[in-house]
């Protein structure tokens, strides 16, 4: 089966996607392809789509593809020392990819959040977008609330253009998480859910 693409998502389609939000999910972080770190220098957490691991109010195969923003929390940490553990606690902004990674032509849909640490956090880099570099998070459990839609998946020509787009998504995520106003739900309610132990 050829994965669908979102190259020409209309404003109407974008509004339709936004109407599905927020989407809450709880899932385990599992090993992916490792491309975020090795190829792009921007690590992501690959969330398991297994029904045994993922709890979500929407079926996995029904999740609309695209690039989103939201809030995330690691339920437990296996950090190597107390100082590192402290840096992983709390709610993080997240730039989230849902889809098939058209640059790599994946055949299976994935959900990959990039957690964004607050300014001054020791895990932030000194690049223009200050992407966050955490240690490996495999087998951690993540609570994720997707609150906004940024753009469709696009088949960029070359990794350089893809990296620029992802860094732009990170910058936009930080801004949108601060500025988002919506009539359909309260952003603070989503942050509170991420912090809670309530079901998805």
Annotated catalytic residue within 19, 112, 157, 175? 112
112 labelled catalytic: yes
Query: Environment class of residue 106 by beta-carbon count within 10 Å: exposed (0-12), middle (13-18) or buried (19+)?
Result: middle
Round the CA-based radius of gyration of the chain to a whole number and report it: 16
Of 133, 37, 31, 29, the residue nearest 72 (C-alpha): 29
Distance from chain centroid for Cα 38: 18
Of 135, 165, 185, the residue nearest 22 (C-alpha): 185
What tokens does 111 get? 């959900």
Q: How does strand 66-74 pair with strand 55-56?
A: unpaired
First vs last C-alpha separation in the chain: 30
Instruction: Indicate which residues carry an active-site annotation.
Output: 112
């Amino acid at each position: 089966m050829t994965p669908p693409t979102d190259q020409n998502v209309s404003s109407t389609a974008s509004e339709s996607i936004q109407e599905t939000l927020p989407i809450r999910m709880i899932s385990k972080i599992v090993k992916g392809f490792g491309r975020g770190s090795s190829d792009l220098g921007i690590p992501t957490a690959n969330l398991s789509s297994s029904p045994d691991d993922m709890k979500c109010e929407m079926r996995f195969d029904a999740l609309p593809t695209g690039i989103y923003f939201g809030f995330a929390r690691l339920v437990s940490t296996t950090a190597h020392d107390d100082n590192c553990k402290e840096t992983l606690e709390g709610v993080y902004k997240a730039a989230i990819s849902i889809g098939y990674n058209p640059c790599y032509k994946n055949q299976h849909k994935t959900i990959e959040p990039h957690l964004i640490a607050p300014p001054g956090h020791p895990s932030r880099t000194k690049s223009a977008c200050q992407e966050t570099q955490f240690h490996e998070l495999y087998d951690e459990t993540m609570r994720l609330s997707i609150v906004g839609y940024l753009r469709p998946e696009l088949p960029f020509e070359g990794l350089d253009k893809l990296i620029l787009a992802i860094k732009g998504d990170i910058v936009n995520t930080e801004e949108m998480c601060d500025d988002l106003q919506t009539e359909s739900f309260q952003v603070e309610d989503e942050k509170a859910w991420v912090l809670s132990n309530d079901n998805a």
